[in-house]
Structure 1
Amino acid sequence: MMIVEMAGELFMEAVNFATQIDFSESKTDDTVSVFETTIRYLGGLLSAYELSDQKYPALLQKAKEVADKMSHAWIGSNIAEAGTLILEWSTLSKYTKNDTYRQLAEGSLRQIASLPSPFPGMAVQGINPVGGQGVGGYVSWGGGSDSYFEYLLKYPRLTNTDDPVFVDTWKTAIDSSIRHLLRKSTVGDHLYTCTYDAAIDKFRHISSHLACFHGGNWLYGGKLLNNQTIMDHALGLIDGCWNTYESTETGIGPEGFAYVSSDGNYTGINPPPTEADLQFYTQHGFYPYARYYILRPEVLESNFYAWRITGNTKYLDRAAKAIESFQKYLPAAVGFAGIEDINDPASDKIDDMESFWFAEVLKYLYLTFDDPKHISIDEYIFNTEAHPFKAPRGRAFYGSNATVPLRPFKVRPGPLPEVSSNRFNPSSIPL
């Protein structure tokens, strides 16, 4: 409401409601996600507190209350998304003058960054909260891994920390991704990422709507580091993800999709693709295997960054097309609903409206068409739920002076690096 200039009665109604929430006791018998509660409740409260010029200290008090409850997770709770807490918890420390919150979240981020992995800089998806070790060997930019990489980049920009480990780890992950996880489809030369499963030593030619945040993340980081190689790959990833929108009958992209590349078509999907799937691939360079859409933002999030950074009006056109599709296929009796099949204009709807429809999809669309100076990406850092935090003036450079130079994209990956038990040193990676 603050961003869309509705800071009147509706905003005050929201403030009054939010400050009456009782966080002293869970309202569910189920477990509570530290990650989801952090990015939505804690992030939303703190961002509203900032955007309203700190006029409503009750918002900060409520943020502190919910964080105090969640802080017990560090002594036994299972934290699946331990690397996506630092923006919110460090911001809470900033305003409460209690650095314990930042220390808890930063400790998790550092631990994950130090773990060995099949590829330098790319932590495996699973983590054991008891000992902090990585679990399994699944490497991905998709759900379960995504926002950890996002925060490696955004945390140093939000805080201007002198510690280079976060940006260096992010850049090392980008280098590993370019070497091993980038693929071009055999139809259309669309650029996508794949995943890797060390347990079976196979690359899976799949990606997802969740993973499609990576184009915007790479583009923002490439701009921040003045690295054209990263930016070029980022724009290719953004175009590849947009291809999943413009190729369907509804103009909306699927939850998950697969493709064929020069090194094969292994996906690990069961059941395997149908004849109809393969026919779709021959026309569009991908095929959807999870055909539903649940109001996710990632494709339009990356599109927003592409518009703000490049100024190319094709990204405005894409946002406009998405709005047309949403208006045509998503309206429900109340609000908007997801759909079961993005390639069926008569698809059944999903009786659910996620909060990120407002927090992310509509916000990114609004800001795409708004004055770029409003909530400028030079002045604000968005958390993974698109709640903006005020950032200081940027540094001259981020990371160490010996960060990893990046190679041009190669379709086929080279031999896998050995897993080391030592902390990754970006300057020691053979290039």
Structure 2
Amino acid sequence: MRLPSILTLLGLCSYALAGVTVQKPGLAVPAKYKSNRDAAEKIFVTSYNAYKEFAFGHDELLPISKSFEDDLGGWGASIVDAMSTMLVMGLDDLFNEALNFSSQIDFNTIPAGGTVSVFETTIRFVGGLLSSYELSGEQHPILVQKAKQVADKLAFSYVGDNVINFGHIDFSDNTPDIAVTNIAEAGTLSLEWFTLSKFTGNATYGDLTSKAVEHIANLATPLPGLAPQLIDPTSGQFADAYITWGGGSDSYFEYLLKYARLTNTNNNIFIDTWKTAVDSSIKNLLKTSTVGNHAYLADRDDQGLIRHIGSHLACFLAGNWLLGGHLLKNQTIINIALELNDGCWNTYAGTATGIGPEDFAFISSDGNFTGGDAITADQLAFYNQHGYYITSSDYIQRPEVLESNFYAWRTTGDTKYLDRAAAAIASFNKFLPPPDGVAFACLNDVNDPAAGFIDLMESFWFAEVLKYLYLTFDDPGHISLDDYVFNTECHPLKAPPALNSYAGSGTLIPQKPFTPHPVGGPRPAISPI
């Protein structure tokens, strides 16, 4: 490999010290749990075989109508998303078939509707192709070539000297959709594009994406380290003041930490911003329910009011904080992360299906304001029993609760996390197969199995849910958290040996005066790398 020269090219520190460890040393899965690994693999194979029969070459299977949809470019998203899981599971025949397909994708083909998401395409296609290249022993350079082909198209989302990319791009003429984007769309490309730089020798990919993250991190924020959700690529300024670890913001915060680990960069802005964001969240957003004393992380709206809401998407943060707590050797972050993980699992434990809802809310000592509808009598009764109540009842095959559960197992060795993952597998097998369809569908209401199904099997069902479940029961030395960094689509990327410390500068970022700017306003000066 060409790592030393590439790391020098990208301005990263290439020295290795005795590294900090994340996983619990000597961890092993007790024999009585090992059948669950095979159960997760069986769900994967059953799902993929149904996809092959009714939707092969298309983005996602519609398991009830036994058809397909193409809303992710039409390039076979489920195939590329599934490839790294096939390699993790040792499903060589399926991988070879998927390799043959992916090697023939033409990303210059105009997708249905023309416009694609830069974020969604990056995490699935660029991430999936490069992860598969690494996991297959770097034997198939066509995977790097295809990742480069699609990234070269996506790079048109960076217009002129704008450091923030536009969120969507029309592949028919390479023009971006000129609209406000969010920090997740702008700040969740760095792992994949850095890895592309590593394998192509072209630093431009990594530079484009890391500069965007640095720009966001250097702007004034409503609370220290906590960037608001919306950002205008034209001006490079925030367009609102809403703070959340949920959708639209989530993976920006996730990648601050993971970029620092994947690159071992000596640029402190990534770790310092992540650490400051966590500190601000503990001080301002961490709440406990008045029933059950469950820990949740609230949102903060444009008016500075605390909204007592949570989401399945936001439940990734417990795993992210566990990773960061160990890298920073900060036991306070670890302890709070485990409490937040328990709070998110509580949303699974409280439903009739044993599966958590898309969105929920809670009552804390500082109130029950959610910014939405008032709590109903039925919701209050549910809250009084479970310590949260459901505000969006669907389950669209989200992985985040099981993702954090995986991190909790790998870092603590507490078998209660194995019990939880086993319970999720049982619930999926019981409640997700549609009686008149194939494979596994989404649910309308996790607390009412009779409410029926949503006719969709997400591509990330293959990439995330089933990989996290499989790895929970697999040999912990396989795809160790000390050897790999997962992108937000759960594609493992090989990490260099860990440093002895990821403490950054050792200081928190101070508060700066903050005012959101109107869309299209003047562009501020950008701090150089």
Q: SS of the residue aligned with 1:183?
A: strand
Query: Does 1:46 pair with 2:130?
Result: yes
| Contact kept? 2:311, 2:360, Cα under 8 Å | yes
CA distance in 2, matches of 1:128, 1:30: 22
Q: Paired residue for 1:397?
A: 501
| Contact kept? 1:166, 1:399, Cα under 8 Å | no
1:126-275 paired onto structure 2 within 5 Å: 126-198=230-302, 200-270=303-373, 272-275=374-377
CA distance in 2, matches of 1:123, 1:221: 18
Count of paired positions: 410
Q: SS of the residue aligned with 1:138?
A: coil
| Contact kept? 1:116, 1:420, Cα under 8 Å | yes
User: Out of 288, 302, 316, which is 2:418 matched to?
Assistant: 316
1:93 partner letter? S
User: Out of 465, 477, 484, which is 1:380 matched to?
Assistant: 484
The alpha-carbon deviation at position 31 of structure 1 amounts to 2.0
Q: Paired residue for 1:412?
A: none
Write out the 4+ residue segments of structure 1 that deviate beyond 4 Å after TM superposition: 420-423
TM-aligned CA distance change 1:253 to 1:395, over 3 Å: same
User: Out of 135, 141, 147, which is 1:57 matched to?
Assistant: 141
C-alpha offsets along residues 32-78 of structure 1, whole Å, 9 cap, x if unaligned?
10000000000000000011111111111000000000000001762
Q: SS of the residue aligned with 1:265?
A: coil
Q: Paired residue for 2:389?
A: 287
| Contact kept? 2:273, 2:508, Cα under 8 Å | no
| Contact kept? 1:163, 1:399, Cα under 8 Å | no
1:288 partner letter? I
Q: Paired residue for 1:410?
A: none
The alpha-carbon deviation at position 417 of structure 1 amounts to 6.2
C-alpha offsets along residues 186-205 of structure 1, whole Å, 9 cap, x if unaligned?
0000000110013x231100
The alpha-carbon deviation at position 418 of structure 1 amounts to 6.3
C-alpha offsets along residues 107-155 of structure 1, whole Å, 9 cap, x if unaligned?
1111111111110001000000112101111000000000000000000
Q: Paired residue for 2:99?
A: 15
TM-score (normalizing by structure 2): 0.76
C-alpha offsets along residues 140-179 of structure 1, whole Å, 9 cap, x if unaligned?
0000000000000000100111111100100000000000
Looking at both structures, which has the greater relative contact order when contacts are Cα pairs under 8 Å and sequence separation is at least 6?
Answer: 2
Query: Does 1:344 pair with 2:344?
Result: no
1:324-343 paired onto structure 2 within 5 Å: 324-332=426-434, 333-343=437-447
The alpha-carbon deviation at position 19 of structure 1 amounts to 0.9
The alpha-carbon deviation at position 420 of structure 1 amounts to 4.7
Q: Paired residue for 2:44?
A: none
Q: Paired residue for 2:89?
A: 4
User: Out of 209, 212, 224, which is 1:108 matched to?
Assistant: 212
Q: CA RMSD in A?
A: 1.6
Q: SS of the residue aligned with 1:139?
A: coil
Query: Does 1:98 pair with 2:202?
Result: yes
- Report the more deviating stretch, 35-44 or 111-120: 111-120
The alpha-carbon deviation at position 182 of structure 1 amounts to 0.4
| Contact kept? 1:379, 1:391, Cα under 8 Å | yes
- Report the more deviating stretch, 331-340 or 378-387: 331-340
CA distance in 2, matches of 1:90, 1:248: 41
Q: SS of the residue aligned with 2:89?
A: coil
Query: Does 1:419 pair with 2:419?
Result: no
CA distance in 2, matches of 1:22, 1:344: 43
Query: Does 1:78 pair with 2:166?
Result: yes
1:419 partner letter? P
C-alpha offsets along residues 376-425 of structure 1, whole Å, 9 cap, x if unaligned?
010000000000000011001114342349xxxxxxxxxx96635899xx
Query: Does 1:306 pair with 2:411?
Result: no
Q: Paired residue for 1:356?
A: 460
Q: SS of the residue aligned with 1:118?
A: coil
CA distance in 2, matches of 1:334, 1:90: 38
- Report the more deviating stretch, 69-78 or 107-116: 69-78
CA distance in 1, matches of 2:375, 2:166: 35
Query: Does 1:88 pair with 2:192?
Result: yes
The alpha-carbon deviation at position 11 of structure 1 amounts to 1.1
CA distance in 2, matches of 1:253, 1:11: 31
Q: SS of the residue aligned with 1:346?
A: helix
C-alpha offsets along residues 276-300 of structure 1, whole Å, 9 cap, x if unaligned?
0010000111001000000000000
| Contact kept? 1:341, 1:347, Cα under 8 Å | yes
Q: Paired residue for 2:470?
A: 366
| Contact kept? 2:463, 2:490, Cα under 8 Å | yes
| Contact kept? 1:152, 1:166, Cα under 8 Å | yes
- Report the more deviating stretch, 176-185 or 329-338: 329-338
The alpha-carbon deviation at position 30 of structure 1 amounts to 4.4
CA distance in 1, matches of 2:433, 2:359: 23
Q: Paired residue for 1:36?
A: 120
| Contact kept? 2:261, 2:498, Cα under 8 Å | yes
| Contact kept? 1:244, 1:286, Cα under 8 Å | yes
The alpha-carbon deviation at position 335 of structure 1 amounts to 1.6
Q: SS of the residue aligned with 1:389?
A: strand
- Report the more deviating stretch, 253-262 or 21-30: 21-30
CA distance in 1, matches of 2:151, 2:254: 21
Q: Paired residue for 1:427?
A: none
1:117-128 paired onto structure 2 within 5 Å: 117-128=221-232
1:295 partner letter? Q
2:451 partner letter? S
- Report the more deviating stretch, 76-85 or 46-55: 76-85
CA distance in 1, matches of 2:324, 2:199: 27
Q: Note the residue ranges of structure 2 that are not aligned, 5 or more in a row.
A: 1-85, 168-180, 516-523
| Contact kept? 2:221, 2:511, Cα under 8 Å | no
CA distance in 1, matches of 2:506, 2:88: 39
